[in-house]
Amino acid sequence: MTTLTLVKKTSFTVASLVTTMLLSICTPVRAFMFGTSGIQLDRDTNINFTFDQSHGGYQSSLWVAQAESGNTGYSNIARLFYETKPSDNGSADDWQGSFGSAVTSENGSITQTFTFLQDQIYALLLWSDTGTGQQFEEYVSSSTFMNSPEWFAAGSKFQRDECLVAGCQQAVFGDFTLDYNSNGSFTNINGGNDPGQYSSVTMAQLAQGTKISFDDAGGNDRDFQDFTVSAELAAETMTQQAQGTQISFDDAGGNNLRLQNFTLSAELAPEPVPEPVPEPVTVFGTMLGLGALAAARRKKKRGQQP
């Protein structure tokens, strides 16, 4: 299987300095995250991905990519789904692709299970052939920062130059609405909620099943309906996390080793909802605002000096 790598630029520039500052502020260490800040779980976890549908004229494939040491690159390690042609029937239904017609998987199943290893950092990468015949011509990542000019595809040298240093959001997570028969914007279709409000899900939401949908950046329409899947904790994972276990002690009285003198049960408590992590662009804007305020105060103070 082809393995490609997404690489972070290592040249020391003002942009990379700002990026480092932003990451140090915006990415605290967390045991669980599943969204545009990355994918990281606090235990080995099986997640089922089920294909929904694709749209648009690009021919794409969805991969799980794992971060390398030092977060200097991400390597494709598992292909979940891929299109064998751009759509089922040309431009019909906005270039719709369905499983079994335009879309398939390695084993031919519409549901793929991937094991995310404890504390490892992952992202989902949607690679696209825009019509040149090059399978890995360009990409969008579920991780917002990886859609910045700080990253490039080692094979094609492609990078998202149109995005700021903080990156562009190209994926949405959660209980959002898609309307393939409407020309309305994503925000209007979702009751005024913009894509940034669908940037992460909790473990509870993942246990119930959640949607993930990409905008492949073709046409700059930001409709977030180009490649849609659902993600859900595998049944055995939910069982392991939810079920309790019994612990019993023998107090050594009588040396009978009956292990029944003190018994209790242990069960995982519901995980608290993680505090939302501010988007880097929001924090950067706040930093600039504070800087401007400080400059204004200095100017005012100088004007008051005799």
What is the model's pLDDT at position 178? 95
130: number of Cβ within 10 Å: 17
Q: Tell which residue, 206, 214, 200, has the closest CA to residue 138.
A: 214
CA pair distance 306, 190, nearest whole angstrom: 57
Collapsing DSSP states into helix, strand and coil, what is residue 242? helix
Written as one letter, the residue type at 278 is P
> From CA 69, how far away is CA 46, in angstroms rounded?
22
CB 51 within 8 A of CB 108: no
- pLDDT in the model for residue 70: 80
Which parts of the chain fold into alpha helices (H)? 14-26, 92-95, 186-189, 203-208, 235-242, 280-304
DSSP H helices in 160-304:
186-189, 203-208, 235-242, 280-304
How many Å apart are CA 212 and CA 266, to the nearest integer? 34
The answer to whether 103 touches 54, Cβ cutoff 8 Å, is yes
Instruction: Give me the pLDDT at residue 182, please.
Output: 85
pLDDT of residue 139: 96
Q: What span, in angstroms and rounded, lies between the C-alpha atoms of 190 and 175?
A: 10
Q: Which domains does the chain have, with CATH numbers?
A: 5-240 (2.60.120.400)
CB-facing half-sphere around the CA of 243: CA atoms within 13 A: 8
Q: Cα(29)–Cα(43) distance, rounded to whole angstroms? A: 15
Token output for 227: 């490649």
pLDDT at 221: 81
Q: What is the pLDDT of residue 155?
A: 86
pLDDT tens series, the chain, 306 aa: 455 788 987 543 444 444 444 544 454 555 799 999 999 999 999 999 999 999 999 999 999 999 998 888 999 999 999 999 999 999 999 999 999 999 999 999 999 999 999 999 999 999 999 999 999 999 999 999 999 999 999 888 999 999 999 999 999 999 999 998 888 899 999 999 999 999 999 999 999 999 999 999 987 788 999 999 999 999 876 655 555 556 666 666 666 656 566 666 656 555 544 444 444 443 334 333 434 444 444 444 444 444
Going by C-alpha positions, the residue among 2, 227, 12, 200 that lies closest to residue 99 is: 227
Quote the DSSP letter at residue 107.
Answer: T
DSSP-H helix ranges across 90-217: 92-95, 186-189, 203-208
